[in-house]
Chain A
Amino acid sequence: MLGTGAALMALGAGISVGCCAVGAGIGVGMTGSAASGVIAERPDKFGMAIVFTAVPQTQGIYGLLIAILILQAGGFFSGSASEIPIPVGLVAIGAGIATGLAGFSAIGQGIAAASGIANASEKPEIFGKGIVFSSICETQAIYGLLISVLILSLTGVLSGDYSVEMPVAIGVVGAGFAVGLAGFSGIGQGITSAGAISAVAHDPNSLGRSLVFAAMSETFAIFGLLIAILILFGLGLFQVS
């Protein structure tokens, strides 16, 4: 019979892949819309448009990855998911929240990539810079993925060790929320990056200053990451080597 722990683990996997899919879907949708507009006028820009459209997809892949890791750790693929303690399920929810919520940064990435497509179709020389500005919004998702992997790995869940205690399990959900919600700063960063791409297309010398503005929103993601790491440390998950 399926236990509550297994159900919670499934919930964690669902949060991870579902939220990331929403974020990546919206992001790719915005980029795809800009791409369609551009190639209607300039069919030769199809390759460039495809690269930009692929940029916000990565969050979806991160969500899928964590979901797979959770399901594998829970033995869902081998049909042995029934014997899972509740704290392990909570750990999976924490990991799912970290990557899932941070996956909403793909919306910001979509905004930036759409601007990249529009500008690079007019000025091909800013393609590289457009890609850079679009990809900086992915940092939030990477922080989320990092915390998810740390949660799964440091609690031992990833390697099949189910001995994690309930207070620790509840604590890692907090770490997941810290980095996951901070990941929404990626939307702000995407808005700044979209403007920055236009600014750099207008004046290539403004690259450095535009990067500073674009990086400011990332500060809040670093706050979230820092707090998440401190939570994991406070829970005694970092072993002294």
Chain B
Amino acid sequence: MFFPEPMNKAIIGIHYLQFESCIAALHEAGIIEITDIREKIEETGDLTRNNPDPVTLSRLIATQVHIGQIRDKMLPFAQEKKGIITSLLSPGKKTPLPANPGLIPQTCALAEDFIHDTKDFLNLYQDYQSTLDRIEELTQAIETLTLLLKQDINPDYLVSSRFSDIIAGTIQSEDLSFFQELIQSKIQSGLITATSEEGEKTLVVVCAGAHEHEALQGLLRPPLFQRIVPQKDLSGKPSRLLPEKREELALTITRKEEQYEHLSFMVKARLPEVQALYEELSLQRARMEMTRRSGITRDVIFIEGFFPEKNRRLLNAILQRHAGDQYLIRILDPEKTDTIPVQYNNPKWLKPFEFLTTMYAPPRYNEIDPTPFIAPVFLLFFGLMLGDAGYGLVLLVIGTLLYRGIGQQNRSVGDMCIVLIGCAIASIICGIMEGGWFGDILPRFFGITPPLVLLDPMRSPILFFQLALIIGIIHINLGLVLGLWQNYRKKMVRLAIRDQGIWFIIQPAAAILLIQFFGWRSIPSWMAFLAGIMLLFSIGILLLGKGPMAFFDLTGFLGDWLSYVRILALALATGGIAMAINLLAGMIAAIHPLLFIPAIIFLVLGQTFNLVIQALGGVIHSLRLHYIEFFGKFYSGGGKLFHPFKAERIYTTLPQDDELSC
């Protein structure tokens, strides 16, 4: 639990006849991270590069792309209209189809049959697209005809002929006189034949001789002039055409809706199947692409990779089941250049907190995994900083609803929801102890004294300050102990003394001298003398090890310790701001009885704002105390997470008794 999973590096050889089924089984099991063996090929003469069969691969890719296109066409007809909140709290249940794993040609044949069967969908989809195009054409035609209706000009007349140009367009009404002067002054043959005002815009039709075509085109440009370009098939008077086009548009929209309904019905029945097929083809392709990482001799295909020690028996069992005796496995010593991947080794209840470690950096192999230490302390810090039972209850409700909604479909979100629920429970407990119920809402508005209050940061800030410093020094020393333990395990005794051990001398010595300096207790002179000697000795070792930079170690340690005071600062901020919101809401309500409802609205909005800001602050500052003050004592991270060759199935599921399942 305190270190990542022990990893093995292995080379596996499988007879080429059993390779595809073995790889499929390993893919489904997801227990091995396959590395590239090609670098070894130059060293061993017998081993050559293994490449997937190009004919099979191209057939697979073509089928996958085709199925992907059908899926993309179907998706818009399957989307339910949901608000953000509904989609978070009730995203809808997905029922995966039973997987239909087989060899690549079989899956491709299955997909090709499916493509053939979807011809009716594709034909209807084509009709639907044509309908959409027609609606757009009609909408544009109606727009043009509406503009020309006042003068009832046949759009056919708006053409550039051998002798003249006739152009219609709109201008801003206020620009009309300027436009008329412009045409008269610049175009000798120019004539504005018709104008009609339509509110802010005016329709104008300009005629000019063809010899001035270029000059006219230069003048009739946006933003002054918005040209009307009639559609090609638009012929007739607008007064006659407009009702016809409007009627046709109405009919076309009805047809579109009918087609949409029909398509939605078809998609509802077929989308799960198309998604399952696309998923299966993607997995098949991933397996084929993986073969590029393997090497081949005459009969045997070799792969190399890392797997957790706990999966050794499972790995053997899978290979035995699918290759019989036609395989070999050899455990290798990792080379110096190898980056051993790390897999967290935490119990189930700790797993949701792993992302807090990963967000900083995953541990290196053989380095302490700080997750078991982060989980409880993060919750404690958050609880103390938010310190409000009312806010905790709100977070608990939100966290539970999210967990039951989107948290069930997305593991990462589910983990965050669990952490949020933990934070909420911590806030409720700490909030009760700190007496925070939406600030001071209970005593202020209901005259109720909050029960079970142990330490109110607003009333006893000094006591809370001391508590924060005590928690800080314990937390820092926990980090030092972990660092000491880690360095001792690696037999780096000197480093252990210089980086961690020395602080166990500096701290008590400095404490004795400070107590004597401030006169809090009477200290025997021999003890003070001894403390002084110990302090000088420790600082000397620090200076010898780190030079002048040791000075920053001393100030840094003090800074790290004092940094925990932020627990008090944030607890005060939550209570103080909530109190101010309650106070202002009370003052608004006291002005006039009619302002009671605005006061309630102000109270709810203000408390929501405070909850969001303070919860965000609680997370950020709890993380900061871990990442800087705690990790700085023992943890560097920088490991590479274990990414197994794993089939991620969302739309399909393997039956438990399937040969591939484990």
Residues of A within 8 A of B (CB): 51, 54-55, 57-58, 61-62, 64-65, 68-69, 77, 127-129, 131-132, 135-136, 138-139, 142-143, 145-146, 149-150, 153-154, 158-159, 204-205, 207-208, 211-212, 215-216, 218-219, 221-222, 225-226, 233, 238, 240-241
Out of A65, A153, A211, A221, name the residue touching B462 (CB < 8 Å).
Answer: A153
Docked Cα-Cα span, A159 to B576, in Å, equals: 15
Partner of B559, one of A58, A222, A238: A222
Instruction: Assess whether B360 is in contact with A158, with CB atoms less than 8 Å apart.
Output: no
- Which residues from A are CB-within-8-Å of B576? 64-65, 68-69
Residues of A within 8 A of B461 (CB): 149-150, 153, 158
- The verdict on B572 contacting chain A, using a C-beta distance below 8 Å, is yes
B572 contact from A131, A132, A145, Cβ within 8 A:
A145
Can you give 22 contacting A-B residue pairs, CB < 8 Å?
A54-B616, A57-B613, A61-B573, A65-B577, A128-B360, A128-B623, A129-B360, A131-B620, A132-B627, A132-B628, A135-B621, A136-B628, A204-B361, A205-B638, A207-B361, A207-B637, A215-B559, A215-B628, A216-B552, A219-B559, A222-B559, A240-B519
Bound CA span A79–B462, Å: 28
Chain B residues contacting A159 (CB-CB under 8 Å) are 459
B552 CB contacts on chain A under 8 angstroms: 212, 215-216, 219
Given contacts A69-B576, A158-B461, contact A146 B569 (CB under 8 A): yes
Q: Which of B587-636 contact A (CB under 8 A)?
A: 613, 616-617, 620-621, 623-624, 627-628, 632, 636
Q: Is the CB of B620 within 8 A of A135?
A: yes
New A-B pairs, 14, CB < 8 Å, besides A132-B627, A146-B562 = A54-B613, A57-B613, A61-B613, A64-B577, A68-B580, A128-B627, A132-B628, A139-B563, A139-B566, A145-B573, A207-B637, A219-B559, A225-B562, A238-B518
Contact across chains for B559 and A145 when beta carbons are under 8 A apart = no
Q: Does B70 contact A (CB under 8 A)?
A: no
Chain B residues within 8 Å of A, Cβ to Cβ: 359-361, 459, 461-462, 465, 518-520, 552, 555-556, 558-559, 562-563, 565-566, 568-569, 572-573, 576-577, 579-580, 583, 613, 616-617, 620-621, 623-624, 627-628, 632, 636-638
Point out the residue from B518, B613, B632 that lies within 8 Å of A233, measured CB to CB: B518
B361 near A145 with CB under 8 A, answer no
Contacts of B638 in A (CB 8 A): 204-205, 207
Chain B residues within an 8 Å CB radius of A158: 461
Query: CB-CB < 8 A to A128: which residues of B?
Result: 359-360, 623, 627
Residues of B within 8 A of A68 (CB): 576-577, 579-580
Q: How far is the CA of A127 from the CA of B552 in the complex (A)?
A: 27
Given A149-B461, A153-B461, A205-B638, A218–B580 Cβ distance below 8 Å?
no
Q: Which among B462, B580, B617, B624 is the interface contact of A132 at CB below 8 angstroms?
A: B624
Asked if B624 contacts A135 (CB within 8 A), the reply is yes
Within the complex, what minimum Cβ distance (angstroms) separates A21 from chain B?
Answer: 14
Chain B residue with Cβ nearest A240: B520
The answer for the CA separation of A145 and B468 in the assembled complex, in Å, is 14
B-chain residues with CB within 8 Å of residue A58 when the two chains form the complex: 573, 613, 617
**A55 with B620, Cβ < 8 A, contacts A65-B573, A139-B563, A219-B559 known:** yes
Say whether, besides A139-B559, A153-B462, A208 and B636 are in contact (CB < 8 Å): yes
> What's the minimum C-beta distance from A237 to chain B, rounded to whole angstroms?
10
| Residues of A contacting B520 in the complex (Cβ-Cβ under 8 angstroms) | 240-241
Q: Which chain A positions have C-beta within 8 A of B568? A: 146, 149
B563: which of A142, A153, A204 is its contact (CB, 8 Å)? A142
Evaluate contact between A127 and B462: CB separation under 8 angstroms: no
Assembled-state Cα–Cα distance A23/B117 (Å): 66
CA distance A129 to B624 in the complex (A): 10
- How far is the CB of A31 from the nearest CB of chain B, in Å? 14
Whether B623 and A131, one on each chain, are in contact in the complex, defined by CB atoms closer than 8 angstroms, is yes
Residues of A within 8 A of B617 (CB): 58
Given contacts A57-B613, A136-B624, A222-B555, contact A143 B579 (CB under 8 A): no
Given contacts A54-B616, A68-B580, A132-B628, contact A149 B572 (CB under 8 A): yes
- Give A158 to B568 CA distance when docked, in angstroms: 16
- A150 to B361, Cβ gap below 8 A? no
| Chain B residues whose C-beta falls within 8 Å of the C-beta of A55 in the assembled complex | 620
Chain B residues, CB < 8 A from A57: 613
* Residues on the A chain within 8 Å of B555, using CB: 219, 222
Q: In chain A, what residue has the closest Cβ to B521?
A: A240
B573 neighbours in A (Cβ, 8 Å) = 58, 61-62, 65, 145
Instruction: Point out the residues of chain A lying under 8 angstroms from B613, CB to CB.
Output: 54, 57-58, 61
* Residue from B461, B565, B569, B623 having most chain A Cβ neighbours under 10 A: B569
B370 to chain A, nearest CB (A): 14
Q: Shortest CB–CB separation between residue A229 and chain B, in angstroms?
A: 9
Partner pick for A218 among B359, B360, B559, B627, CB 8 A cutoff? B559
Instruction: Assess the B624–A154 pair: CB atoms within 8 A.
Output: no
User: Shortest CB–CB separation between residue A192 and chain B, in angstroms?
Assistant: 13
Which residues of B have CB within 8 Å of A131?
Answer: 620, 623-624
Bound-state Cα–Cα, A145 to B465, Å: 12
Tell which of A142, A150, A207, A219 touches B566, judged by Cβ atoms closer than 8 Å: A142
